[in-house]
């Protein structure tokens, strides 16, 4: 019997976290926390909230018995600060902050203000990276000592096979400006006449259809559209196959709190080329990853060119990724951290 056995938590999450067409790092994290808490003996009462977040969250929190523990996803919390402020006197509320809204270029001030109010109100804030914690503290959003870091885990997976030439690139993540796929396509345009390579972009095309259309237009204009495959959301088996074929995972993000796709790549022994932004430098093994300045297609082109031209670099990076596979956190570690935090607010 564990120390947390018999506890109950009401988990307020965005609607559709189990919907495979809404794949996102936040949804994966929420699902794995739910399952991990249940395996530790917690009774997890899921409370999904849709587009009517302020109204629904207020009604939902009002229905929770007094003094019970509530874990609320930051995406919902930031849209319903009034409901949270009204409920903090009778409930033990912990917020799960996947990201800092203010870190996004052009962030809506109303969203930032709502997130700030919500995070300041709750008993504890759980972040998914040390970077997010430091960013919240730096901005004065949450006082030091109230934040707990629960890094995302990763599953055991066989080592990827890759290809003999090293030119199979993979970019995993929702297709949206903050993930920087446009930077990747601009970088690949610089390799149009130099090397044999292909690039798979795996992730939802529905979050920002105009941005997805822009990517297709950029690739066509550069004459590389026949070498880039935008798959949309992949099922787990298809995603596993995509990782297995990959020689290099590229993460050209403009904003990133942790980088779950990076961790998934490293767990498979796949080297990574990524932007030195947000929590990515804390996620990667130093010798298994190459970091470039964010928002710089030229720097990404240069790094990809070196990768393709240097077999020794590829071999050393792959060896380093293989050695670091066992050092990544597991989802059970994530659940333990969350469970300990929830128990502490009692």
Is residue 214 over pLDDT 70?
yes
Q: Across all residues in the chain, what is the average pLDDT?
A: 92
Q: pLDDT value at position 1?
A: 34
Helix, strand or coil for residue 40? Answer: coil
Helix, strand or coil for residue 53? Answer: helix
* Contact assessment for residue 170 and residue 252, using Cβ atoms and an 8 Å cutoff: no
Q: pLDDT value at position 155?
A: 87
Is residue 111 over pLDDT 70?
yes
Same fold, 8-153+329-344 and 168-327: yes
Q: pLDDT value at position 323?
A: 87
Q: How many CB atoms neighbour CB 177 within 10 A? A: 19
Q: pLDDT value at position 286?
A: 65
Instruction: Give the pLDDT mean for 293-308.
Output: 96
CA–CA gap between residue 66 and residue 253 (Å, rounded): 42
Q: How many CB atoms neighbour CB 238 within 10 A? A: 12
Is residue 333 over pLDDT 80?
yes
Q: pLDDT value at position 45?
A: 96
Helix, strand or coil for residue 165? Answer: coil
Domains of the chain, by residue range, sit at 8-153+329-344, 168-327
Which DSSP symbol is given to 22? G
Instruction: Give the pLDDT mean for 79-89.
Output: 93
8-153+329-344 maps to which CATH number?
A: 3.40.50.2000
Quickly state the pLDDT bin for 285 (edges 50, 70, 90): low
Q: How many C-alpha atoms does 211 have within 13 Å on its Cβ side?
A: 17
User: What ranges in 40-180 are assigned the alpha helix state H?
Assistant: 53-63, 74-77, 81-87, 109-121, 130-138
Is residue 5 over pLDDT 50?
no
Is residue 32 over pLDDT 90?
yes
Q: Helices 297-309 & 181-189, crossing angle to 10 degrees?
A: 60
Q: pLDDT value at position 51?
A: 65
Token couple for 109: 């001030």
* Contact assessment for residue 228 and residue 202, using Cβ atoms and an 8 Å cutoff: no
Instruction: Give the pLDDT mean for 141-160.
Output: 92
Q: Which one has a higher pLDDT value, 88 or 3?
A: 88
What confidence tens digit (pLDDT) does each residue in 255-281 have?
Answer: 999 989 999 999 999 999 999 999 999
pTM of the model: 0.91
Distance of CA 288 to the CA centre of its chain: 19
Q: pLDDT value at position 3?
A: 39
Quickly state the pLDDT bin for 4 (edges 50, 70, 90): very low
What confidence tens digit (pLDDT) does each residue in 154-203 have?
Answer: 888 899 999 999 999 999 999 999 999 999 999 999 999 877 899 999 99
Name the least confident of 121-130, 250-259, 316-325.
316-325
Instruction: Give the pLDDT mean for 19-23.
Output: 79
93, β-bridge pairs: 70
Architecture label for domain 168-327: 3-Layer(aba) Sandwich (3.40)
Is residue 62 over pLDDT 70?
yes
């Amino acid at each position: 019997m564990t120390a947390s056995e018999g506890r109950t938590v009401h988990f307020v999450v965005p609607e559709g976290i189990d919907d495979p067409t809404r794949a996102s790092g936040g949804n994966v994290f929420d699902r794995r926390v739910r399952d991990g808490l249940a395996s530790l003996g917690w009774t997890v009462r899921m409370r999904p909230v849709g587009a009517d977040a302020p109204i629904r969250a207020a009604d939902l929190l009002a229905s929770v018995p007094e003094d019970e523990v509530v874990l609320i996803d930051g995406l919902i919390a930031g849209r319903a600060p009034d409901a949270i402020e009204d409920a903090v006197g009778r409930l033990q509320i912990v917020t799960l902050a996947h990201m800092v809204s203010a870190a996004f270029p052009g962030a809506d001030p109303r969203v930032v203000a709502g997130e700030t109010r919500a995070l300041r109100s709750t008993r504890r804030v759980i972040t998914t990276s040390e970077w997010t914690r430091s960013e919240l503290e730096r901005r004065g959003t949450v006082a030091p000592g109230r934040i707990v870091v629960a890094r995302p885990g990763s599953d055991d997976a066989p080592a990827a096979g890759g290809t003999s030439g090293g030119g199979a690139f993979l970019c995993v993540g929702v297709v949206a400006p903050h993930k920087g796929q446009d930077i990747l396509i601009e970088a690949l345009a610089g390799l149009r006449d130099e090397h044999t390579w292909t690039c798979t972009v795996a992730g939802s095309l529905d979050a920002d259809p105009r941005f997805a259309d822009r990517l297709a237009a950029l690739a066509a204009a550069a004459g590389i559209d026949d070498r880039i495959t935008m798959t949309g959301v992949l099922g787990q088996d298809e995603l596993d196959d995509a990782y297995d074929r990959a020689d290099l995972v590229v993460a050209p993000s403009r904003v990133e709190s942790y980088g779950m796709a990076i961790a998934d790549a490293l767990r498979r022994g796949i080297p990574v080329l990524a932007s030195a932004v947000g929590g990515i430098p804390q996620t990667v093994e130093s010798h298994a990853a190459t970091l470039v300045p964010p928002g710089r297609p030229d720097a990404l082109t240069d790094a990809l060119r070196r990768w393709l031209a240097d077999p020794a670099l590829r071999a050393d990076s792959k060896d380093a990724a293989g050695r670091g596979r066992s050092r990544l956190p597991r989802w059970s570690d994530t659940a333990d951290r969350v469970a300990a935090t929830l128990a502490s607010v009692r």
